[in-house]
Structure 1
Amino acid sequence: MGNRAPLPFMLAILAAVFAFLYLPISVLFALSFNEGGMPTAWSGFSVKWYYSLFQDKDIIHAALNTLIVAVISTILAAILGTLLAIGVEIRRRKGRFLETMIFAPMIIPDIVLAIALLSFFSLLDVTMGLHTIIVSHVVFNLAFVCSVVRARLKGFDWSIVEASTDLGAPILVTLRRIVVPVLMPAVVAGSLLAFTLSVDEFIIAFFTAGAGRASITLPMQIFSMIRFGVTPEINALSAIVMTVSVVILAVSQRLNRGGLPGQ
């Protein structure tokens, strides 16, 4: 651009946007190291609230449930999402209806999807628990994995698949030795994104967990704690969850930046 006069103004807007987004998070991180019992008044630096988290059996139990749900749902979503992306690209048939069906869980509000899944499980008379949360998270994460893998498939050279077939390689061998290695960075990136979404997801898990504390997840535990007021433990727990989510998302974006071989 020849005219650089608006640059300071644009930088000011950018700084204001980043401050609006990250200043509350920075305050939460700072208060998680607050020594005093008041969660909003600074009285000194301490890490005792982080230590107390690991002494809370309810939080540990919720964290283990979250880890179980996130790992299993991520594995299933990665497999199904990758196969869905390959199948859609092989058909080479584009259309709004197909795109809508694939990406509907991404654009439908979580509360609507949660109610739909709850109604579905109730219709089938399925007992709620961790297994229903896992199935629900697979439905929710499937579209995200598919979209990441499809983005990598846009530049995929399908002639190498045809060459493999012409040389007599079975389709499973072609997938294992040609297609999957090329798609692996996107699969890993989509899996990390799905894992992060599953760890942070609250509404769908809340509706499909059923009664009792046996299937409570970490976001549900935070919600039950915050109803009685914000405490330093909640600040510390939220800081840990945010840190893990940001790190995983950063790794996912880093993996998804790589192009196809030769590009």
Structure 2
Amino acid sequence: MNQLPYVRSKGRLAILAVCFFFLYAPMLLLVVYSFNASQLAAWERFSLHWYNVLFHDDAMISAVTLSLTIAALSATSAVVLGTIAAVVIVRFGRFRGSTGFAFMLTAPLVMPDVITGLSLLLLFVAMGNAFGWPGDRGMVTIWLAHVTFCTAYVAVVINSRLRELDRSIEEAAMDLGATPLKVFFVITVPMILPAIVTGWLLAFTLSLDDLVIASFVTGPGSTTLPMAIFATVRRGINPEINALASLILLVVGVVGFIAWRFMAHEEKQRQRDIQRARAGH
């Protein structure tokens, strides 16, 4: 009987190891083959040739730049709109149409990408015929489309954080004469900052990863990174894509680690502030 906890612990570790292997072994294999000198799947020798090819591929660099720009703009816009929407849902209480507002806000979460892309394409075409804008589809239309579905994800993340906050601090600030707008920017925003950062990173990743919706709302001359990768891979194995994916994994890993450290620090600081406040009472 004394060995039962030990056996359970070994079983958990084994399951965890299998899950991590299943998730990260393909990525590790991709990174390894990005240093393969051969263009075939068989290993030949270690080489940085495909990284050199990548850095001299103007079309791929252009696609990376376009995708990063759209992802950053989409994530920033989605954070602003998602925060406003979450505040309306959580802090404004029940109002006429609140249920419909909440439903329509979260609808993009369950809407198939094909339906979303097609509906946005028809919208942009109708707007172009009626108002003359947008004149052509490209970066702006992709940005608007990404903001549409990224806002829903950001709103859900910030919504859950807002519901956990202790409103007594905000109420105390307003009792001391602070305006609601000042309370929001001075007190509420710092308290939900980890959720804002998480929402921004989530929206950035979703925008950078999108292929289906961007394919509907883009036009000639505006090729995003997923579209370029998809078109290249359809023609066969290309180690240049392995090199590009390895660099993306590196950047995402570094950014994710920094964001995790920042959120962990903010959470510890919040816990310390709560303990001080309780000790003061």
Larger radius of gyration: 2
Matched residue of 1:124: which SS? helix
Contact 2:70 2:142 in 1 (8 A): yes
CA distance in 2, matches of 1:250, 1:120: 39
Tell me, what secondary structure is at the counterpart of 1:154? helix
Unmatched 5+ stretches in structure 2: 129-133, 276-281
9-18 vs 26-35, which deviates more? 9-18
Which of 103, 108, 117 is 2:106 aligned to? 103
Query: Does 234-243 or 129-138 show the bigger shift?
Result: 234-243
Q: Quick one: distance in 2 between partners of 1:110 and 1:256?
A: 31
Deviates more, 1:197-206 or 1:97-106: 97-106
1: CA distance, partners of 2:185 / 2:215 = 38
Question: Which residue in 2 is equivalent to 1:116?
Answer: 119
Encode CA deviations 1:140-159: one digit per residue, 9 max, x unaligned: 21122112222221221222
Q: Is the 8 A contact 1:186 1:255 kept in 2?
A: no
Distance (whole Å) between structure 2 residues aligned to residue 93 and residue 230 of structure 1:
55
180, 189, 196: which one aligns with 1:171: 180
The AA in structure 2 aligned to 1:77 is: A
Which stretch shifts more, 132-141 or 115-124? 115-124
Q: Which amino acid aligns with 1:50?
A: Y
Q: What are the within-5 Å matches in structure 2 for residues 29-48 of structure 1?
A: 29-38=31-40, 40-48=41-49
Percentage of identical aligned residues: 39
Aligned to 1:191: 200
Quote the residue 1:17 is aligned against.
19
CA RMSD of superposed structures (Å): 2.5
Quote the Cα distance in structure 2 between the aligned partners of 1:25 and 1:201: 19
**TM-score of the superposed pair, with normalisation by structure 2:** 0.82
- 1:200 and 1:180 map into 2 onto residues whose CA distance is 28
Q: Secondary structure at the match of 2:192?
A: helix
Matched, 1:90 2:97: no
Deviation per CA, 1:149-203: give whole Å up to 9, x if none: 2222122122222233333322222222111122222212211221122112211
C-alpha distance 142-207 of structure 1, shift in aligned 2 (>3 A): same
CA deviation profile, 1:80-119 (whole Å, cap 9, x unmatched): 1111111111023498755433222222222222222222
Any conservation in 1 of the 2:89–2:102 contact (CA below 8 Å)? Answer: no
The answer for the alignment partner of 1:236 in structure 2 is: 243
1:153 is aligned, of 157, 162, 166, to 162
2:152 is matched with: 143
Distance across 2 between alignment mates of 1:192 and 1:114: 22
TM-score by length of 1: 0.87
Aligned length in residues: 260
Q: Aligned partner of 1:14: which letter?
A: L
Give the aligned partner of residue 274 of structure 2: 262
The answer to whether the Cα contact below 8 Å between 1:29 and 1:235 also exists between their aligned partners in 2 is yes
Structure holding more helix per residue: 2
Give the unaligned 5+ runs of structure 1: none
Letter in 2 for 1:192: L
